[in-house]
Amino acid sequence: QQQVKQSPQSLIVQKGGISIINCAYENTAFDYFPWYQQFPGKGPALLIAIRPDVSEKKEGRFTISFNKSAKQFSLHIMDSQPGDSATYFCAALYATSGTYKYIFGTGTRLKVLA
């Protein structure tokens, strides 16, 4: 119930194409859903985040689509660029026993071909 399932594990996209990464969850107590971008040898960096009362959030070329009834959310990268090549993690935040905890997906390794 505390899992966040992420797919695909890896993704290859042509430059200019759309990259789509999906995540699904079970726990309805999750109330904040960020996406992180991680380059090799670096720490994850917050990319964009959404709350369950919103169905879509867009920041530049990055869009989160959120389907509360299906318990799914996805990251869309429009006009994908080689510089977007990185590992992307979805995450979900929930409150438990007075504290807050993130559950991370297993990551998607994106490669954008020039």
Partner 1 sequence: NAGVMQNPRHLVRRRGQEARLRCSPMKGHSHVYWYRQLPEEGLKFMVYLQKENIIDESGMPKERFSAEFPKEGPSILRIQQVVRGDSAAYFCASSPDKESQFFGPGTRLTVL
Rounded CA-CA distance 37/44 in Å is 5
Closer of 34 and 84 to partner 1 (Cβ): 34
- Asked if residue 45 binds partner 1 (CB under 8 A), the reply is yes
Min CB(92)–partner 1 separation in Å? 11
Measured CA to CA in angstroms, residue 23 lies from 28, 58, 66, 96 at distances of 14, 17, 10, 21
> Do 3 and 103 touch, CB atoms closer than 8 A?
yes
Q: Give yes or no for residue 95 binding partner 1 (CB under 8 A).
A: yes
Return the sign of the alpha-carbon dihedral for residues 22, 28, 33, 39. Answer: negative
Instruction: Give the residue with the Cβ less far from partner 1, 17 or 32.
Output: 32
Site membership for partner 1, residue 62 (CB under 8 A) = no
Which DSSP letter does residue 61 get? T
- Kind of pairing between the strands at 10-14 and 72-77: unpaired
* Residue 89 Cβ vs partner 1, minimum distance, rounded to whole Å: 6
Number of residues located near partner 1, criterion CB under 8 A: 26
Residues between 21 and 40 that touch partner 1 (CB under 8 A): 32, 34, 36
In DSSP terms, 112 is beta-bridged to 13
Is the CB of 105 or the CB of 112 nearer to partner 1? 105
The answer to whether 66 contacts partner 1 (rule: CB under 8 A) is no
